[in-house]
Structure 1
Amino acid sequence: MKLYIAEKPSLGRAIADVLPKPLQKGDGFIKASNGDVVSWCIGHLLEQAEPDFYDPRFKKWQIDHLPIIPLKWQLKVKPKTKKQFTILKKLILQADELINAGDPDREGQLLVDEMIEFVGVNEQKKASVQRLLISDLNPSAVKKSLQNQKRNHDFVPLSVSALARSRADWLFGMNLTRAFTLAGQRFGSHRVLSVGRVQTPILGLVVRRDLEIENFIARPFYDVIAHFNTDQAETFTAKWRPSAACEPYQDEDGRILSKALAENVIKRIANQPAEVTQLSHKEKRHSAPLPYNLSSLQIDAAKAYGMSAQTVLDVCQSLYEKHKAITYPRSDNRYLPTGHFSEAEQVFNAIKHNKGQSDYLIEQADLTIRSKCWSDTKVEAHHAIIPTSKKLAAGSLDKDELKLYQLIARHYLIQFFPPYIFNETKVEVEVSGGKFITTAKQELQLGFKALMGKTELQPEQLLPSLTLGQRLLCSHGELLEKMTQPPSHFNDASLLAAMTGISRFVTDPDIKKILKETDGLGTEATRAGIIELLFRRDFLKREGKKIVSTIAGRSLIAMLPDLITRPDLTAKWEATLANIARKEQNYQGFMQPLLEQLKQLILLSSSCDASAFKAIKGPMPSKRYKRKRKTPIKKPYKKD
C-alpha cells in the first residue's frame, strides 16, 4: 500500500481525485480502488513540549531556572488533533511505501518528516520515502506532479532548516519572555511581557520610526534652479549641484541649509555665459517585474486596496484551496520552471474567462516572449504565484478574491509583454564655476506598462537640441525654499517591505552586506501572523492606514536590551537558516552561537530599565484584535 501524507485535507482530496476510482472515504483518509491511501495532517499534529514536560519544576517561572535548554528535544501530540494523529500513525505503520505530500516549503517538509520520525518508522522504509511537490490543486497539475516525484532524502536540508527555526523560536521566546516578565514583576508589572525572535525587532522598527517622527524638527533647505537660453531663443532649466566645498552647509542628504549661500549662487549666475560640459543620450529598457511571491503581492495589495497582510494571505488561501484558481500562495519565490512556459495559452484562456484582465490587454500579449522569470535554476521547492488553467463559474469570486486574482493575473501577463523603452538625456551645464544638472525622458514604447495603468506615451521635460560644448546664456537663477519632512509612519505595505528588505535597517555593515540577498525577517507564511500578533498583544494599533506603537509597545522596547529590539541579530539568523536549506551551513553552526547569545541576554534582564515598567503594569488586553473584512472567509490552518 502506498500512503500519501498531505499537509491539509484540501490537498489530500486533490491527490485522491486523480487516483483510480471508485474512492472509498474513511475517517481521516481516502482509499483508492488500487489500495493506495491518502491521509493528511491538519497542519502540525505535533508540537514542542512545554518546559514542565522536561522537569515539573519549570512550571513555576523562576529566574534561576533560565535558560531552559532541552538536552533531548521532545514533541507531544496536539490534543485538538489527537484523533487524526492516531489514524495517520496506524496508516504510516501499515504502509509499504510513504510519500511526503506536505506543502512545498520548509514547514510543509518538516511537519510530515517529523510525523514519520515520531511514529518510529524503520530506517529502510524511511530511506524509501518519496517527495510529492504540488503547487496547483487542479487535476491535470496534480497528475503531472505524481509523475515527477523525487527522493524525500534530497529535501532533508529544508526540514533541518525548519526544525532549527522552530527550536530557536522556542528557546528565544520562552526563555526571554520568562526572564523579562519576571524582571517586570519586581517592579509591579502583572503582565506577561512577550518577547519573540522576530516580533520584537519588528516592534522595535515601528517604535523607533514613531519616536523619530515625534522628535523631528523641520528645517528649511534651498534649491537653486538656473534658467538657460540658446541662440535660437529656446529655454530650459537645470538644478544646481553643490561642489565638495559646500559640504559644511549641507545636511546628511546633501541639501543646502544656508539661504545666503543659495542667494549668492543666484547672484553669480545671472546674465552669465554657460557651456554644455556633459551630454549623454541613452535608450533604456525596463523589463516587466517578476511574478509575485507572497510578500510582494501583500505589499502591492496594501498599496492598491489597503488590505492587511493577513487578509491577503487568507484570501489567497481561498483562491488556492477553494477555487483552485492560483498556485500555492505561501511562496517566497518569484521564478517559474521552464516547463510551465508551454502551458501559457491555457492559463491565458482561464484569465480571459475569469475576467482576470480585459480581453483587449490579454490579446496584446505575445506568447513567444520569454521573460527572465523562466528559470529552472532559481526554482526550488516552489515557484511564483500565478493563475492556474482553471475556468471558474461566473460570479464565484467575491470582491477581495477578484481583486487579488486580477493582480496575480496581471503580473503573469506582463511576462509576455515587451519592455518599457524610453530615451534618457542627461545634461550638465557649467556657469560661473558652478554645475547644473537636468534630465529629460522621452517614452518610446509602453510595453508592459500598458497593464500597469499607463495609457499613452508622454514626454517629461522637453529639451532643445543641444551639443557638447555649446554656449548658452543663463538668464537668471531661481530660489526654491523647501522644508525637510519627517519619515512616514509605517503602513501595511511599508512594514512588509521593511520585513522583506530588512538590510536597510541593519546597523552592522558586515551583516548588512550578508542580508542584501536574503528573504528578510520571518517567512512568507509567518510575516502576516507576526504583525497580527503585535496588534493582539496591544503593542501596535491602527490609526487610519497608519500602523503605530502603543504605550505598552514603546515601554517594552525601552526596557529590553538593544540587541533584542534591533533586526541585526535575528536577520543574521534568518540568513543562516536559508544557508542550511541550501546545504551551505549545518544545524550546530546555527544553534551554538544562539545558545551563547541567549545566556547573555538573560543576564541582561536583571539590569533592565525599571522605569519602563510604569506604563505596562496592567494585564494583557482581553478584547481580541479583529481584522475587518466585508466578506467572511473560512480561515485556513496557519502553521505559525
Structure 2
Amino acid sequence: MRLFIAEKPSVAKAIIAELGTVKRFNGYVECKGNICVTWCFGHLLEQAEPDYYLPEDVPTTPKGKKRWRMEDLPIFPDNWKLLPKNDKGVKNQLKIIKTLLSKADTVVNCGDPDREGQLLVDEILEFYRYRKPSLRFWASAQDSTSIKKALQSLKPNSQFKGMAQAALGRSRADWLIGMNLTRLFTLKHSTPSEKTLIAVGRVQTPTLALVAARDQLIKNFKPIPFYSFNAVITHEGINFSAQWEPKPDQQGLDAQKRLIDSSEAQKILSKLQSLGSGKVLSFTQLPKKALQPKPYSLADIQLDASNRYGFSAEETLNICQALYEKYKLASYPRSDCQYLPESQFSDAKAVLDAIAATSPNLAELVRQANPKIRSEAWNDKKISAHHGIIPTRQRAAVSELNPEEQKIYNLIAKRYICQFLPVHEYLETKIVLAFNGESFKSTGKTTKIEGWKAVYLKDQNSEEKTTLQNLPILQEGSSVEFKEIRAENKKTTPPNSFTEGTLISAMEKIHTVVKDPEFKKFLKETDGIGTPATRAAIISELKRKGYLEVKGKKIHATELGFRLLGLVPNSVKNPILTAMFERKLKEVESGKTDLESFMAPLKKMIQDEIEKA
C-alpha cells in the first residue's frame, strides 16, 4: 500500500480528487490503486520542554514545573525529543498515521514545497522510525493541473533531506535561544521579591526593538520649520497651481532642498507677490500605464486591513483562515506570494461568478470584468510555496459572513476583479514656468482609460485615488499670467508610529534597516524575520507578555518592553542574527555543512552570555 501524508486536509482533498475515492474512513481516505491518503494539521509534533532534559532532583514549583536555576544552564539536549501536541484531535490523528505507516510499503511526503513542509512529514516518519522507501510530492498550487503534474513527477524523498535538516536546525536554534536566554536574563535580573519575565527570541526581540526604536525616534524628534510657495497661474481662463522651485544657488536651503531660512523666505515672498506675465519653459505630456495590483500576500492584506479597518494582524489572519477553512471562499492565506499559477487562469469566469453571487455589491464590477484579460499576476515562475490569496469558485450568501469577514472577502475579491479589468492609462503632464527669473513647476494627470481603478473609485480611503490636477495644453514659449501666491509655513514631521499592519511589513522588509551589504542581501532573500504564518502570532505574544501595547491603531513598546531591551545583548536584538542563521542554513540545505556545524557557534554564543552573567 502506498500512503500519501499531506500537510493539511485541503491538500489531501485535492490529491484525493485526482486519485479517486474508494472509501472514506476516520482520518484517511482509501483511493484507487491501493493508495491511502491521510493528513496533518500543520505540525503534529513539538519540541519537548526544558524540564524533559533537566535532572530529576531539580526542585519543582507549586505548579509541578521544575524551578529555573542558573546552575542548570546551558540546556543543550544531547538527544532531542519530539512529543505529540497536547490536543486530542492531534493525538488521534497520529494514532491513525501510525497504523497506516505499519501497513505502508511506500510513503509520499506531501508537505508544502518549502523547508517547513519537508520537515513536517519527515519528523513523523522519524518519530515512528519508518525505514521503507519514501517519495516527495511537490506542488505549489492545489488546482487540478498542478496536482496532476506533481503526482506524475514524484521524486525520492531523500533528495530533499537538506531542506528538512535546515528546518530542523532553525527549530532547534530558536529553542536554544529562547529557552536558555529567557531563563538566563530572567534569573539575572530578578530578585526574591520581584521576578520579571525577560523573554528572548530570535524574531520576537528584534521585532520589539523595531517598535521601540520608532517610538524613540518620534519622542526625540525636533520639527524643523520650512517654507514653500504655491502660485495660482492662469491661461485662457483656466487656473492651475504651480510650486516654486528654488535655484541651484538659492540661499537658505537645507540638505533636502527645503527653504528653512525665514529672512530668505520673506525676501522671496516679496519678490513673488507681483510677478505678472511668465513663459512656459517646457511642456511634456507622456502616456503612462498603471498595471493591475497583484493579488494579496498575507503581509499585504494585513497591512491593508490595518490601515482601512484597524484590524490587528492576528485578527486579519484569523478571518482569512475562516474564509479558507470554514467557508471555502478563499485560497490558503499564509502566503508570501502575490502571483498566481497559470493553470488557474481558466477558472476566472467561475471565480468571478462566485464573487458576484457571494457579494452582490460587487456584481456590477464583475459585469465589467473580462475573463480573457491576462494580467502579469499569472506567472508560474514567480510562484513560491503558495500562490496569492484569491477567491475560490465556492459561493455563499453574504448573510453567512459577519461584517468583518465580509470586509476581508471584499478586499480579496476586489484585487481578483482587478486582474480582469484593463490597465489604467493616463497622460502625465509636467510644466516648467519662468516668472522674472523664478521657476515654478506643475504636475498633472489626465485619465484616458480608468481600467482597474474603477474598482476603487467609490473607496474614499483608497490610496489609488489621485489628487493630481488636470492641466491645460500649453506650448513651449506660451505666455501665462501670475494670479496669486500662497505662502505655506510647514514643519518636518516625525515618522508614523507603527500599526500592526506596518509592523508586519517592516518585519518582512527588515533588510532596509541593516547596513552590512552581505547580511542585508540574506535578509532580503529570506523575506525578513518571521514567516507569513508566524508574524501575527509573534506580535500577539509580545502584546500578551506586556512588551507591546496598542493605542487606537498604533502599536508601541511598553515600559517593560524598553526595560527588556536595556537588559539583553545587542546580538539578540539585531536582525543580523537571522541573516547569520540563514547563511548557514543555506549551507545545511545544500549539504555543504552539517547540522552540528550550524549549531556549534550558536551554542558558543549562548555559553558566552551565561559566563558573562
Q: TM-score, normalised by structure 1?
A: 0.82
The equivalences for 1:124-135 within 5 A come to 125-126=133-134, 129-131=135-137, 133=139, 135=141
Distance 1:91 1:18 in 2: 21
Output the CA distance in 2 between the equivalents of 1:483 and 1:461. 24
Which residue of structure 1 aligns with residue 98 of structure 2? Answer: 89
The structural deviation recorded for 1:519 is 1.8
Q: Which moved more, 1:58-67 or 1:359-368?
A: 58-67
Displacement after TM superposition at 1:448 (Å): 0.4
- On the 8 A contact 2:206/2:573 being kept in 1, the answer is yes
Q: Does 1:411 align with 2:418?
A: no
What's the CA shift for 1:244?
A: 5.0
User: Which deviations, in whole Å up to 9, do the C-alpha atoms of 1:526-556 show, x marking residues without a partner?
Assistant: 0110111011101111222221222111111
Contact 1:218 1:485 in 2 (8 A): yes
Distance 1:590 1:332 in 2: 27
Does residue 522 of structure 1 match 2:527? no
After superposition, what is the alpha-carbon deviation per residue over 1:370-401, rounded to whole angstroms, capped at 9, x for unaligned? 11111111123321121222233563333333
**Alignment equivalent of 2:293, drawn from 262, 272, 289:** 289
Following the alignment from structure 1 to structure 2, what is the Cα–Cα distance between the partners of residues 102 and 392? Answer: 29
1:612-631 alignment to 2 at 5 Å?
none
Letter in 2 for 1:131: F
1:179 aligned residue (178, 181, 184): 184
Q: 8 Å contact 1:426–1:439 — kept in the other structure?
A: yes
Q: Report what 2:222 is aligned to.
A: 217
Q: Distance in 1 between matches of 2:202 and 2:187?
A: 18
Q: Where in structure 2 are the equivalents of 1:451-600 lying within 5 Å? A: 451-454=455-458, 460-470=468-478, 477-508=485-516, 511-512=519-520, 515-516=523-524, 518-570=526-578, 573=581, 588=593, 596=601, 599-600=604-605
Partners of 2:413 and 2:606 lie apart in 1 by: 47
Q: Which residue in 1 is equivalent to 2:208?
A: 203
Q: Give the AA of the match of 2:264.
A: L
Q: Residues 129-528 of structure 1: matches in 2 within 5 Å?
A: 129-131=135-137, 133=139, 135-136=141-142, 144=148, 147=151, 150-151=154-155, 153=157, 155-156=160-161, 158-185=163-190, 189-228=194-233, 235-243=239-247, 245=249, 249-250=253-254, 253-272=256-275, 274-355=278-359, 358-392=362-396, 395-431=399-435, 433-454=437-458, 460-470=468-478, 477-508=485-516, 511-512=519-520, 515-516=523-524, 518-528=526-536
CA distance in 1, matches of 2:24, 2:472: 78
More deviation in 285-294 or 477-486?
Answer: 477-486
User: Secondary structure of 1:218's match?
Assistant: coil
Alpha-carbon separation, structure 1, partners of 2:167 and 2:360: 35
Question: What is the DSSP-based 3-state SS (H/G/I as helix, E as strand, rest coil) of the residue aligned with 1:172?
Answer: helix
Give identity over the alignment, percent. 39
Tell me if the contact between 1:20 and 1:34 (Cα under 8 Å) persists in the aligned partners.
no
Gaps of 5+ in 1: 609-640
Q: Indicate the SS of the match to 1:193.
A: coil
Cα distance in 2 between the residues matched to 1:283 and 1:591: 58
- RMSD, matched Cα: 3.6
What is the CA-CA distance between 1:148 and the residue it aligns to?
5.0
Contact 2:140–2:146 (Cα < 8 Å) also in 1: yes
Change (3 A) 1:25 1:461: closer
Matching residue of 1:43: 42
User: In structure 2, how many angstroms separate the alpha carbons of the residues matched to 1:246 and 1:589?
Assistant: 62
> Cα distance, 1:159 vs. partner?
3.3
Q: From the superposition, tell whether residues 598 and 454 of structure 1 become closer, same or farther in structure 2 (CA, over 3 Å).
A: farther
- Tell me the CA shift for residue 68 of structure 1: 4.2
Letter in 2 for 1:529: A
| One-letter amino acid matched to 1:547 | I
User: What amino acid is aligned across from residue 118 of structure 2 in structure 1?
Assistant: Q
Higher mean displacement: 166-175 or 524-533: 166-175
Cα distance 1:477–1:326, how it changes in 2: closer, same or farther (>3 A)? closer
Q: Kindly tell me: are residues 265 and 517 of structure 1, through their superposed partners in 2, closer, same or farther at Cα, counting changes over 3 Å?
A: farther
Q: 1:574 to 1:432 in 2, by over 3 A?
A: farther
Deviation of 1:120 after TM superposition, in Å, equals 2.0
Matched residue SS, 2:501: helix
Say whether the 8 Å CA contact 1:4–1:98 is kept in structure 2.
yes
| Paired position in structure 1 for 2:62 | none
Taking structure 1 as reference, are residues 283 and 187 closer, same or farther at Cα in structure 2, changes over 3 Å only? Answer: farther
Aligned position for 1:619: none
Number of aligned positions between the proteins = 597
